Amino acid sequence: MPADHVPATHSATVVRLLERFQTRQATIGIIGMGYVGLPLALTAARAGFKVLGFDINGSYVDRLNRGESYIKHIPSDPVGEAVRARRLAATSDFGRLSEPDAILICVPTPLTKHREPDLSYVEKTARSIAACLRDGQLIVLESTTYPGTTDEVLKPILEAGGLRSGRDFFLAFSPEREDPGNPDFGTSTIPKVVGGDGPDALALADALYSQLVEKTVPVSSTATAEAVKLTENIFRAVNIALVNELKVVYAAMGIDVWEVIEAAKTKPFGFMPFYPGPGLGGHCIPIDPFYLTWKAREYDITTRFIELAGQVNTQMPYYVVERLAEAVDRSGRPFSGSRILLLGAAYKKNVDDMRESPSLKLIELIEARGAAVDYHDPHIPELPPTRRHGPLAGRRSVPLTPETVGAYDAVLIATDHDKVDYALVAAHARLVVDTRNTLGRAGLANDRTVKA
């Protein structure tokens, strides 16, 4: 920890809490037991802490207390082990928020339909904590948000009852860095950025996360920590937009963008490969850049570069559908009235996460042009309700057989799950429009394959 962030002396409250973290005697409360909260809870339980998970979803609570996972890429075994060892329990009773020594907030921070921050989940959670807040608790926000949220939104709600941050309780921000389905990096192996509201809060947050992860990265303030997460995701969004735009340009020139990227990445310096796709998905990349765009307006600054990247990425589903329609028409069948099989409904490979998936937009655009769409996804047997694509909820994944594949006018590869039999697809599809270069990478592309 930087020397200028270490207090010369700690209060008795801070010393006691530090000791509880360092000896792993503390109880950790985690609000939101989804794709971020559940891995964090398992990591804390494995480290020896007692964990109390809070969620408004009664089904999640019941399944966790039975030792079951409800997230595809998280097996039930570690959940069951933590529950049986009495290291993990779940509850929907937010009146128990006075029990934990530290409360970690892992709730959604989506956008409104006008692309403005929706902090309603954070605010509601803060009010629930405030109703039970006691002396000597550490509160950490992990949800991605704009710089200033911890200090300007969370802190006033928590202080409304008379307790003061830095004196009675301690407030920090530590952005989640989960990458669902990534076999190489998990919660404990990804460095944890921490920023505190004052030196005591920083020392406490650093002490807690030091027990959970291999490395912590303390920074000077909560706003700096908030900016770190936005910067990471904006970097990805901008570079994805760049290769998406290059894909469009190179396709017009008859150049394969994937071949270009593979050759370019052999340069040992000055280049980092990013890959094009059918659009952005997930809970971070399509959303987080607009949190900074919104906040920047408060300072009369226009984030033109970020907004341009957003425009490029949001146009990709339209480009893909245009390429699909052209390919079907060239095959001798009118696109209107055709039948399309979409492979992959999740926003990324090998997960069951539908948040902001471009596949949903692809289905709507294809059907708006008069074609019919079915989908196959080994991880998503049925499309769940979503805020923006409600009418699609309830559709079920169709089986992938030679007969079903051959019955469609075209197969559109939107998500390149490993569990899909691409050899079957290549052999039996009349036409494949591939947005991920899946068949090309597998050496299965043929004269019926179109890259989009």
Q: What positions carry a catalytic annotation?
A: 284
DSSP per-residue codes, 235-266: HHHHHHHHHHHHHHHHHHHT--HHHHHHHHTT
380 residue type, one letter: I
Q: Which of 145, 142, 139 is nearest to 126 (CA)?
A: 139
Q: How far apart are CA 86 and CA 89, in angstroms?
A: 7
Max CA pair span of the chain? 79
Q: Which of 409, 248, 255 is nearest to 329 (CA)?
A: 409
Place of tokens 């899946």: 438
Q: How far apart are CA 87 and CA 65, in angstroms?
A: 11
Q: How far apart are CA 281 and CA 413, in angstroms?
A: 15
Give the pairing of strands 410-413 and 432-434.
Answer: parallel
Q: How far apart are CA 218 and CA 136, in angstroms?
A: 21
Bridge partners of residue 343, in order along the sequence: 376, 413
* Residues composing the chain: 452
Place of tokens 């030196």: 199
Q: How far apart are CA 411 and CA 340, in angstroms?
A: 6
The Cα-based distances of 347 to 16, 277, 286, 300 in angstroms read: 44, 10, 11, 34
Q: How far apart are CA 299 and CA 439, in angstroms?
A: 47
